[in-house]
Amino acid sequence: MNKKPPPETLVLGIDTGGTYTDGVLLEYNTHQIIAAHKSLTTKRDFSIGIENVIKDIDLEDPSAIQMVSISTTLATNAIAEGKGKRVALFLIGYDPDLINSFDMSKRFATPHYFYIEGGHDLHGQEKTPLDLPDLLEKTKMIKNKVDAIAVSSYFSPRNPEHEIRAQNAIASICDLPIVLGHQLSTLLGSVERATTAALNASLLSMLQEFIIAVRRAMEHRGINAPLMVVRGDGTLMNDEFAARSPVETIHSGPAASAIGGRFLSGEDQALVLDVGGTTTDLALIKDGKVVVSEKGASVSGYQTSVQAANLFSIGLGGDSHINLDRGKEISIGPERVVPLAYLSHQYNNVQDRLKALAKTNWPAPHPRDLEYWFLQQENPEVNSFTAKEQQVVEILKPGPKPAIEVLKSLGLLDASQISFNNLWREEVIGKSGFTPTDILHVDGRHTPWDKEASKAALTVFSHYLNLDEDQFQLLFWENVTEIISKAVIHFLTEREIPAKNDSTHDLANWFLDNSLRPEHEQLTTRIILNIPLIGIGAPAQVMLEAVARVFNTDLVLPAHYQVANAAGAVAGSVMVTEEILIYPHMSKGDAEVLGYYLQSRDNRDEIEELEDALTRAKEIAESNALSAALRSGANIPQVNVEVIQDGMDSYRVKARAVGKPRLGG
């Protein structure tokens, strides 16, 4: 008798990047990708792009989907672009003189920070009483000027009493969201913990709106399943946890790409390069796992306490703006713009104008003439904008125009003469220009939009440099290879690459140049990478083949590498870490140990003997980790407990619960 084949377990992975939203339909048990699709990300309403992906995957039976998991660059991009919500940060027990002397205030991720008397010492003893009247006075002063409040108390991982009392007091006079530092990190780094709390507060409403958008898209397509979100270390959490801890999604997108690269390729030792529209992200796979940063996630100069994959990003992608630097050398990125091919595809008159520009011989057009501005919103609300900004909106209402033409209408010679930050930040206007995507249109390797517009732009750029178009393209791709190769070396060695004109590093520069472009008759130099490159993202094959040759290694392009990030969104496990800190209760003058404190996130116990304290801490940590993992969406999680000595008579008991996500149905 033939056995009936097991029913399919279908899951849907979605990655919302800065340029594209990718989706894959996956059979969970066999890891087989059944369908995949890419759609442009719709930043004004993410649910539109997400729903487009789900629609184009064409689900026969939406009710068969047993999990949806999503990775996103939303948090990372919001921080990088300064689009987080306004936050007031209360620093309890912090030393203003110390902060100022080391210029650490710039690291707090908000200009609205306030010092409050209070805080504890290393042993969890109250150092100074909490000044609640001052806290309440400052809260009344700021509550109508910010969108959320963060609180970080000195040594709060050792005793969070002041943070908890501050939360209760603030909540009694205002209804703003409140984030506490000790709930996000058990590490003692006070500045990093304050930064993490402030960033988490700034992202709360943004990620909640994003999750609502995803849920709305799922509902419209008839999908009723658990929703998971990728953390910055590639593990998963359910949407409820993500809504409370959005800061944990920093580097979510690149982490999913690294997980997806390993998942689809089966390589246990490799360097993953994810080439997106905006950035190229590098991550290392070691022993089948993504290497995690020990220092915590860093984004736009802000160092946090969030565990995340060890990543390195450069501003180079398919939509990077190709321009000229002051020395008339080709520069690529880091600014992302809309490719001219796409702009012309959307607006008929753009191609005609670009073709006319390409035919102009005297004076020869400058590459800056290729930059266009256009409205991203049909009827933007402009009351809060300056008169000049409102004028820009009126100029662009009939359609896209060259930036130089807009500036001329304003009586300006250059955009640097006035700030249009509001227009960019609110995404009222967008910028289009010449990009790698346009070059791919010209050579026929990627042609979804207007090839003729791209060709005209290439003519303008190459003629200005007195090159024929083939020479320009060859020079351009050499530059791309050099940029990515240097990024690989920097990432793996953690050493700065010397500038080309740095005479103190002549030999190093020669060695690198001769490895990238072998020119010496007698001397051959080679850099050998002992592991393969895994290419992820639509432009990966085009941009990485030459890079693999530089490093004398293989380029692995797994099946569906174009959407590996979406596959990575469903390939991760749920992982929760809970820590109990054990430290001595000292008598006055620190002469005698009276007992041992056990400090979990919100509870503090005291036990007389160290052995009993360690035993009890293991029990609490294991129970807390198991409970948190189940709440976070894990199915039958396994718990591992370890004890780490953390100074004299101090210990950190860490319990890690790991399990596959719990599926619906």
Q: Where are the domains of the chain?
A: 87-204, 320-471, 573-661
Unique residue bearing structure tokens 């939009």: 449
Unique residue bearing structure tokens 């650490």: 104
Q: List for the chain the helix, strand, coil content (%; round to 5).
A: 40, 25, 35
Angle 474-475-477 (CA atoms, 0-180°, nearest 5)?
A: 65
Radius of gyration of the chain from its Cα atoms, rounded to whole angstroms: 27
Residues 86, 112 contacting (CB under 8 angstroms): yes
Which 8-state DSSP code applies to residue 499? P
**Tokens representing 530?**
């002992």
Compute the half-sphere exposure of residue 418: CA atoms within 13 Å on the CB side of its CA. 16
Inter-CA distances, 339 with 277, 513, 541, Å: 10, 31, 19
Helix (H, G, I), strand (E, B) or coil at 430: strand
Unique residue bearing structure tokens 């360690």: 614
Q: What is the 3-state secondary structure (H, E, C) of 69-135?
A: EEEECHHHHHHHCCCCCCEEEEEECCCHHHHHHCCCHHHHCCCEEEEECCCECCCCCECCCCCHHHH
Q: What is the 3-state secondary structure (H, E, C) of 274-298?
A: EECCCCEEEEEEECCEECECCCCCE
List, edge to edge, every strand of the sheet that includes 429-433.
Answer: 338-339, 429-433, 372-375, 401-402
Q: How far apart (Å, rounded) are the C-alpha atoms in residues 442 and 338?
A: 16
Q: What is the 3-state secondary structure (H, E, C) of 518-581?
A: CCCCCCCCCCCCCCCEEEECCCHHHHHHHHHHHCCCCEECCCCHHHHHHHHHHHCCEEEEEEEE
Residues 6+ positions from 60 with CB-CB distance below 8 Å: none
Residues 124, 583 contacting (CB under 8 angstroms): yes
Give the pLDDT confidence score for residue 1 in this predicted structure. 43
Give the pLDDT confidence score for residue 165 in this predicted structure. 95
- Domain 573-661 CATH (choose: 3.30.465.10, 3.30.110.70, 1.10.357.10, 3.40.640.10): 3.30.110.70
Query: Which amino acid does the sequence have at 357?
Result: L
Q: 42, exposed or middle or buried, with CB in 10 Å at 0-12, 13-18, 19+? A: middle
Q: How far apart (Å, rounded) are the C-alpha atoms in residues 317 and 436?
A: 8
Q: Which of 292, 251, 233 is nearest to 575 (CA)?
A: 233
β-strand partners of 584: 596
β-strand partners of 189: none
Q: Which of 367, 360, 369, 251 is nearest to 299 (CA)?
A: 251
Q: Which of 573, 579, 570, 577 is nearest to 634 (CA)?
A: 573
Query: Which amino acid does the sequence have at 218?
Result: M
- Domain 87-204 CATH (choose: 2.60.40, 3.40.50, 3.30.1120, 1.10.3470): 3.40.50
Give the pLDDT confidence score for residue 665 in this predicted structure. 58
**Tokens representing 68?**
């949806």
Unique residue bearing structure tokens 């036990």: 607
Q: How far apart (Å, rounded) are the C-alpha atoms in residues 440 and 317?
A: 12
Unique residue bearing structure tokens 């003189």: 97
473-490 confidence digits (pLDDT tens): 999 999 999 999 999 999
Q: How far apart (Å, rounded) are the C-alpha atoms in residues 163 and 143?
A: 18
Q: Which of 579, 571, 573 is nearest to 637 (CA)?
A: 573
**Tokens representing 73?**
């660059």
Q: What is the 3-state secondary structure (H, E, C) of 324-370?
A: ECCCCCEEEEEEECEEHHHHHHHCHHHHHHHHHHHHCCCCCCCHHHH
Dump the DSSP string for 169-190: HHHTT--S-EEEGGGT--S--H
Residues 6+ positions from 46 with CB-CB distance below 8 Å: 16, 21, 74, 210, 213, 214
Inter-CA distances, 177 with 147, 170, 204, 243, Å: 8, 10, 8, 12
Give the pLDDT confidence score for residue 5 in this predicted structure. 45
Angle 476-482-488 (CA atoms, 0-180°, nearest 5)?
A: 140
Unique residue bearing structure tokens 């990620």: 207
Which 8-state DSSP code applies to residue 498? P
Query: Which amino acid does the sequence have at 58?
Result: D
Stretches where the chain sits below pLDDT 70 are 1-7, 44, 81, 382, 417, 425, 590, 665
Q: How far apart (Å, rounded) are the C-alpha atoms in residues 484 and 486?
A: 5
Distance between start and end Cα atoms, the chain: 28
Q: How far apart (Å, rounded) are the C-alpha atoms in residues 474 and 476?
A: 5
